[in-house]
Chains A and B, each alone.
Chain A
Amino acid sequence: MISLTINGTRTEVREGTTILQAARFLEIPIPTLCYHPWLKPFGACRICTVQVQRPRGYELVTACNTPCEEGMVIQTDTDHVRQARRVVVELMMARWPNVPIVQKLAAEVGLEKPRFISEMRDEAPDACILCLRCVRICEEVVGACAIGYEDRGIKRKVVTPFHEESEACVACGACAHVCPTGHMKFEPEDYRGKPPEFLLGPNTAIHVMTPQAVPKVPRIDRESCIHFKTNGCQKCVEVCEAKAVNHEMTDQELEIEVGQILVATGYDLFDASVMAQYGYGRLDNIYTALDIERMLNATGPTGGQIRLKNGQPPRAVGIIHCVGSRDENYHRYCSRVCCMYALKFAHLIKERCPEAEVYNFYIDMRAFGKGYEEFYSRVLHEGVNVIRGKVAEVVQAGWSKQEEGTLLIRCEDTLIGKLREIPVDMVILCNAIEPRRDAERVARLFGLSRSPDGFFLERHPKLDPVATSSDGLFVAGCAQGPKDIPDTVAQASAAAARMLATIAKGVVEMDPVRAEINEEYCSGCRVCNALCPYEAIEYLEDKNVSRVNSALCKGCGTCVAACPAGAITGYGFSDLQLHAELEGLLAVR
């Protein structure tokens, strides 16, 4: 330990501590500029100058990069110190008079106006003041070395190699983060490659996925994490006291043995850009329902506010129901949830932008559930306009300055029997719920069947809507067909109860449909052995007969049909039974 005195206070510090660190520990203020706690001390701006007592007189040193020595006596607020700092700030004011952080320092040292003007004077409030924090963080922390500086003295300048876009840049934004003047700029949309209105909200490379995430722990997004690009950074590892951050972790494939499976894989949404007449992806301010859900969310990119692309609230919003649903060209079925969430949108938009006109365009209003019809009439009373008729197209309105950015919805209003054109500045498309794009693969994997609309098939539409044709396999939610949350929860609860019932029982009842070999008739030809898809038939060498292992047999009957000796009985579907059925069926002319 080293003992020293700062402004008359004695203190002890560990070896290697700088004067700045020791002073900050004692809460003695020392101004800094080029210093940053993540970076190695640099001592370039000299604003942190302090006075150290020497045997003969004193010395002025920079606090940020001078290590403490045994017996040091330090003053941070003498006339000499103030004078030295004043000169430093005055030189900066002469060159960068409008940079707020420089102005603040000037106020601190009591400087109103510099006595001279620099020939390199830069009036910009976000001028580069050459602290080089950006260059240093890029090298020391990020490890990318994407920016550097050229020339020396007052001509020094921060640049990229060869003044070209730096290939080494990983677009992490660290430089902008540490820049004290805002000279380094970083536009967050660049790094996700998506316009900000579709951002899932502000996120960093390490984040909790959603406020409702289970388990609620942060995850690292490999695509944005600097460590995976440059092998550097690891700031999160440094700050995590629990030592829980581990960049070596990789995805693992686990094999888990289970006895029952609930398939609740949900849905995908119809690609609204397929219906080109509605302009999605082509015209501005046309959103899908899911985009709007995100926008309305308090943790979303707009904090729950409804906004146009230009950041303004909309004056008129058109909500189009049944986009891709109830349409011979796409899906014939009704997606079941759209009418109600469309009314929910109308209600929320009215609540958050009371000035806005809201129009709902519907084919039929399906307010089918408990309390839904009541909600519909409430929304009507809130002044939402509902128009019965399918929208023909959405087009850009005229080209006058006033109409700029306005969209026109062309539709037939079937209740008044007229074609209408309604100007709005935002359109919301309620696109259909579809089977997931991997439904075919998942169906194969589990041996599930699919109904003609592509959703997984239940065992019976009325009598057994949660089981499937395979024992122990259940379906729930939109994987089985479009439905809202209450219906999903009801179906999933039913499925869970069915599964628990089997577990509680402790035994599994198997279908008595099984094959059995009559050893008296069996000639030991072994034809059946190779045919059984479950290898349920073993050959008993000593007896020269085959035998079915009834625990493995699934009762398909392939062996029964193949046995040349007719030695195999398929219980439930024996020859006797099938022939009797045939006779019965064909007895009547």
Chain B
Amino acid sequence: MNQQQRFEPRIVGFLCNWCSYTGADLAGVSRMKSAPNLRTIRVMCSGRVDPTLVLRAFQLGADGVLVAGCHPGDCHYQEGNYKAMRRVLLLKRVLREFGIDERRLRLEWISASEGEKFARVANEFTEQVRALGPLQLEEAPAAVAEPQLEEVRA
């Protein structure tokens, strides 16, 4: 990478369909500026975010991963966001094992009305990851399995 150029981190955001994804939409509709570094993936619930998805993101070269869901008590599916919270806590420990700074994984509660918060989180997190610098993995961790494709084709 050209040293003169500013480091532009690549961040993956898993956004819950009901709250955070709508919040991101609102930020857009309201013409709020937010960092283009965040590349979003819609999931129905933050509870859908499988740890392997996060690890795979890092493996594929993401410098940061954001998981965003509804505020506690507001989950469209009652309690998916609590499950996400527990998973993220455990996942941070796993990341340490892999030598990945746990600050590269962030969990946020963003409601459908919080377009402003979405933009703020996107900008803040981008700056935070920029400060951490590019993620350097020695070698792709073997533990992260390729997805089992057959099951879907079946």
From B12, B74, B111, B148, give the contact of A582 (CB < 8 A).
Answer: B12
- Is A567 a contact partner of B114 (Cβ separation < 8 A)? no
From B45, B73, B152, give the contact of A575 (CB < 8 A).
Answer: B152
A570 to nearest B CB, angstroms?
7
Q: How far is the CA of A562 from the CA of B80 in the complex (A)?
A: 11
Let me know if A67 is at the binding interface, CB within 8 A: no
A235 to nearest B CB, angstroms?
52
Let me know if A569 is at the binding interface, CB within 8 A: yes
Taken residue by residue from 69 to 96, chain B's Cβ proximity to chain A (1 for < 8 Å, 0 otherwise) reads as: 0000110111110010001000000000
Chain B CB within 10 Å — which of A449, A457, A555 has the most?
A449
Chain A residues, CB < 8 A from B57:
582, 586
- Is A582 a contact partner of B113 (Cβ separation < 8 A)? no
Number of B positions contacting A (CB below 8 A)? 45
Chain B residues, CB < 8 A from A461:
29
Taken residue by residue from 44 to 88, chain B's Cβ proximity to chain A (1 for < 8 Å, 0 otherwise) reads as: 110111111100110011100000000001101111100100010
- Is A558 a contact partner of B12 (Cβ separation < 8 A)? no
Let me know if A581 is at the binding interface, CB within 8 A: yes
Q: How far is the CA of A451 from the CA of B29 in the complex (A)?
A: 13
Taken residue by residue from 1 to 28, chain B's Cβ proximity to chain A (1 for < 8 Å, 0 otherwise) reads as: 0000000001010000011001000100
- Within 562-584 of A, Cβ neighbours of B (below 8 Å) are at 562, 566-567, 569-570, 572-576, 578-579, 581-583
- Is A570 a contact partner of B48 (Cβ separation < 8 A)? yes
Q: A461-B29, A531-B83, A585-B39 are in contact. Are A566 and B48 (CB under 8 A)?
A: no
Chain B residues, CB < 8 A from A554:
77
Q: How far is the CA of A469 from the CA of B47 in the complex (A)?
A: 18
Let me know if A60 is at the binding interface, CB within 8 A: no
- Is A556 a contact partner of B61 (Cβ separation < 8 A)? no
Let me know if B43 is at the binding interface, CB within 8 A: yes
Chain B residues, CB < 8 A from A449:
18-19, 22, 111-113
Let me know if A447 is at the binding interface, CB within 8 A: yes
Main secondary structure of the interface of A (DSSP, over half): loop
Chain B residues, CB < 8 A from A451:
26, 113
Q: A451-B113, A554-B77, A561-B48 are in contact. Are A578 and B61 (CB under 8 A)?
A: no
B32 to nearest A CB, angstroms?
12
Chain A residues, CB < 8 A from B111:
449-450
Q: How far is the CA of A558 from the CA of B83 in the complex (A)?
A: 8
Interface magnitude class on chain A: 35 or more
A585 to nearest B CB, angstroms?
4
- Is A452 a contact partner of B114 (Cβ separation < 8 A)? yes
Let me know if A533 is at the binding interface, CB within 8 A: yes
Taken residue by residue from 133 to 154, chain B's Cβ proximity to chain A (1 for < 8 Å, 0 otherwise) reads as: 0000000000000011101101
Chain B residues, CB < 8 A from A578:
41, 43, 53
Chain A residues, CB < 8 A from B149:
576
Considering only CB atoms, which chain A residue lies closest to B151 in the complex? A518
Q: How far is the CA of A579 from the CA of B14 in the complex (A)?
A: 12
Let me know if A91 is at the binding interface, CB within 8 A: no
Let me know if A429 is at the binding interface, CB within 8 A: no
A571 to nearest B CB, angstroms?
9
Chain B residues, CB < 8 A from A216:
none
Let me know if A513 is at the binding interface, CB within 8 A: yes
Q: A457-B112, A555-B44, A582-B41 are in contact. Are A469 and B152 (CB under 8 A)?
A: no
Chain B residues, CB < 8 A from A557:
43-45, 47-48, 80
Let me know if A444 is at the binding interface, CB within 8 A: yes
Let me know if B116 is at the binding interface, CB within 8 A: yes
Q: How far is the CA of A566 from the CA of B53 in the complex (A)?
A: 13
Chain B residues, CB < 8 A from A566:
147-148, 151
A586 to nearest B CB, angstroms?
4
- Is B87 a contact partner of A561 (Cβ separation < 8 A)? yes
Let me know if A521 is at the binding interface, CB within 8 A: yes
Taken residue by residue from 141 to 165, chain A's Cβ proximity to chain B (1 for < 8 Å, 0 otherwise) reads as: 0000000000000000000000000
Q: A452-B115, A589-B10 are in contact. List 6 more A-B contacts (CB 8 A).
A: A461-B29, A533-B77, A555-B44, A561-B87, A575-B152, A583-B60
The 10 lowest CB-CB distance pairs between A and B, nearest first, are A557-B48, A449-B112, A556-B77, A561-B50, A558-B47, A556-B45, A533-B78, A576-B152, A586-B60, A585-B39
**Residues in chain B within 8 A of chain A (CB atoms):** 10, 12, 18-19, 22, 26, 29, 39, 41, 43-45, 47-53, 56-57, 60-62, 73-74, 76-80, 83, 87, 111-116, 147-149, 151-152, 154
Sampled A-B contacts (27; CB under 8 Å): A444-B73, A447-B74, A447-B76, A451-B26, A457-B22, A457-B112, A457-B113, A521-B151, A533-B77, A556-B77, A558-B47, A558-B48, A558-B80, A558-B83, A561-B87, A566-B147, A566-B151, A569-B152, A575-B147, A575-B151, A575-B152, A579-B147, A582-B12, A583-B60, A586-B39, A586-B61, A589-B10
**Residues in chain A within 8 A of chain B (CB atoms):** 444, 447, 449-452, 457, 461, 469-470, 513, 518, 520-521, 531, 533-534, 554-558, 560-562, 566-567, 569-570, 572-576, 578-579, 581-583, 585-586, 589
